[in-house]
Amino acid sequence: MQTNEAVKLWKELGITHANMEFSCGGDSMNDYHFTFYKKNDSKKKNVPEEIEVNSPELESYFDKEVFDEVEFYVNSDGHYIGEHGNVYIELDDSDEDEEEHTFIYSKSAKSEWSERIEETMEIKLSKKMSKFVSEYVSNINGEEGNCTINFKKDFIMSDEQEKLVGELEEIVLQETADFEPSYDEGEKEDYYTFTTNDGDDREELTIKDDKLLVSVGTSFIIYKED
């Protein structure tokens, strides 16, 4: 279908405007669909001012035309995720020459970003637990619901020490789950990771005044208007 044919059909159907709702990201266009509207001539109460029009021909036309006229940002890089929004379509018939009538496209969208944040927290340990960790533990790391304790030397674990390890896991999991980072832009994701040795500022497990230093990493989803 050529543009002049689409314009003619648009007028015949009495369409006032159309809307393309879309989402894209992950290096591809994802879901999108078109909705066409015309004025409602019904004078009944509680009837919407506009009603939807079913037009497969126009949908097929705009399915190609929109992508030629509008730029979408589909690429993702781990920081930028994608965008979602609407493309508003209307007919520009202001020119007296009908051959010059054409469509105008206006995109309104929100782009989505993932911001990775890592902050250090302190976990208070008992004297006995602090001494055990300092002597035997090389690293503690994990994620939501999972804690791994790595030891720096071989030793025969007593029942008391085994109990201490279990208590240590519970404390670390509880404290990291409750930790709220100071960064507050966007929406915090539930998933998080943690480690005592972040490889940057702290290569070794560190305890200060019976407080275990733990780096907690999580992501915030940020939306920006385009």
Residue 98 has pLDDT above 70, yes or no: yes
Residue 102 has pLDDT above 70, yes or no: yes
Query: What's the rounded Cα separation, in Å, for the pair 171 and 132?
Result: 14
Whether 57 and 158 map to the same domain: the answer is no
- Taking the model in full, what pTM does it have? 0.67
**Highest mean predicted confidence (pLDDT) among 35-49, 150-164, 193-207:** 150-164
Residue 43 has pLDDT above 70, yes or no: no
With a CB cutoff of 8 Å and minimum separation 6, the contacts of 148 are 140, 141, 142
Residue 78's pLDDT is 78
Whether 124 and 55 map to the same domain: the answer is no
pLDDT band at 53 (very low <50, low <70, confident <90, very high): confident
Whether 21 and 62 map to the same domain: the answer is yes
Whether 35 and 122 map to the same domain: the answer is no
Query: What's the rounded Cα separation, in Å, for the pair 9 and 3?
Result: 10
Tell me the per-residue pLDDT of 24-35, one tens digit each, with 9 for 90 and over.
Answer: 998 899 999 999
Q: Which of 46, 75, 100 is the last residue of a domain?
A: 100
- Whether 106 is in a domain gets the answer no
Q: Which of 38, 72, 100 is the last residue of a domain?
A: 100
Residue 21's pLDDT is 96
Task: Give me the number of domains the chain comprises.
Answer: 2
Residue 9 has pLDDT above 70, yes or no: yes
Q: Which of 71, 100, 129 is the last residue of a domain?
A: 100
Which domain does 120 fall in, by range?
116-225
The DSSP annotation for 25-63 comes to ETTEEEEEEEEEEEE-----TT--SEEEE--HHHHHHHH
Residue 47 has pLDDT above 60, yes or no: no
Residue 18 has pLDDT above 80, yes or no: yes
Region 79-108: mean pLDDT is 92
Query: What's the rounded Cα separation, in Å, for the pair 39 and 52?
Result: 9
- 164 against 47, higher pLDDT: 164
Residue 184 has pLDDT above 90, yes or no: no
Residue 41's pLDDT is 67
Whether 120 and 205 map to the same domain: the answer is yes
Region 116-120: mean pLDDT is 92
Residue 45's pLDDT is 54
8-state DSSP, 98: G
Whether 83 and 126 map to the same domain: the answer is no
Residue 208 has pLDDT above 60, yes or no: yes
Whether 120 and 220 map to the same domain: the answer is yes
Instruction: Write down the mean pLDDT value for the chain.
Output: 91
Whether 25 and 84 map to the same domain: the answer is yes
